[in-house]
Structure 1
Amino acid sequence: MTDIRVLIVDDERFSREELAYLLQPFERIKVVGEAASGDEAIVAALKYQPDVMFLDVEMPKMDGLAVAAAIKDLKKVPEIVFATAYPDFAVEAFRHQALDYLLKPFDEDQLAEAVNRMEKKLLPEENQKQGPVPSKFAVEVDDTIEYLNPSDIMYVYREGRATKIVGRASVYETNDALKDVEERLQPFSFFRIHKSYLVNIDYIHRLTPWFNGAWQLELRGAEEKLSVSRNYVKDLRRMMEL
């Protein structure tokens, strides 16, 4: 597979156009078609044979959950990324073995995370072709460069225009975007728990319910409790638990 073929399904034209626009920077993503209803989605899935379907949940007549159930009988069943303005459908969506679940308005970091999952699952041969993994994380401090062991980094967060890297002994600062830091740390055991936070899962000690669907995370060696967005809780638990 050279590209990931995507079908966008949403009854709102502007939502389809926005998502298609946000997907443009991803070189391996190719939008092959759109559909404005559940019925059109099934016809388009047969016509375009997509690898992934971005599927709106709330649509008139035939909603996204009904579409997900119907396409299971197709010869080629696409992966599903649900998209909706309502978080209440998350549990039901994952019962359909959805690859991801995005809330509107679309958050670019969350979309990038979804694309990353798509590429890992659908392009495993590309991941295997990557070169040697660097063993150090470089941070510019004044006029020098500090080389950190990724295993010594507890968590990373964005504050204002700076990205803070919290190590076991010191806190470092970089002007790199959090997304860029996340890409550099991808080979190691880091996980996004919030649009502004990455954590090293090796330091995770306790996860506690908080409010409004969010959770609080305690790390070994860190005094601060971190907020886990409800959009990331399910995947975090899936990764952490046997």
Structure 2
Amino acid sequence: MTYCVGMMLNRGLVFMSDTRTNAGLDNISTFRKMTIWEDEGERCITLMSAGNLATTQAVVSELDERLKAPSERSPSLLAVPSMFQAARLVGETLREIIDRQAQSGQRADTAFNATLLLGGQIGDNPPRLFLIYPEGNFIEAGEDTPFFQTGEIKYGRPILVRAYEPDMSFEDAMKLLLVSFDSTIKANLTVGLPFDFHCYETDSLKTGRIGRVTAEDPYFQTISQGWGQALKETLDSLETFTFED
């Protein structure tokens, strides 16, 4: 399993993904689940993946191959005119990969499925964020749904719902996401450090601040310990429950 979050802010887009993948309790590995394509000054597109590792790596490899030899039948992410077209291209590619697995004798059920988060900006169009399903269809983030999660979403969702604000800074968004991810790894061993992140600034049309948060990162340790302590102190400060006589 994995955990990825894409978030829309007034300032731009923020992406974060974990790196853990496992095929059983004794086979745990680290793989990057975030890919960025950039044509500086023209577009910047970020993709995050959750689900079967072979499927998601095949999707990224297929999209990379199309950059080398695009055609009318196999367009490139660096050539499509809008983020909507980019989402449709990625969705079609995901569906093709899953169908190809089925035709080779593998079952195209949940064991080979994947879900993708795609966001970015092309030209003068505003930044957009999409959640792409295994069937190839997708939905778009908006005012009512300003962020998407994929993977192991339930543990890290409450803090996002309560604390998200569209006008928050990238710094505050990173703090919020780290709390969300810390809550998730505390409750589920299939999600783990390090975390990759990308903060894209609206109209920059280039890769923004990127990096990796490790278990040794002093700020993450402060967030993890401080959040746990703050929860305990808040719980203690609430009025004590009393039983009726």
User: Is TM (by shorter chain) over 0.5?
Assistant: no
More strand by share: 1
Q: Give me the TM-score of the superposition, normalised by structure 2.
A: 0.30
Q: Which of 1 and 2 has higher RCO (CA within 8 Å, sep 6+)?
A: 2
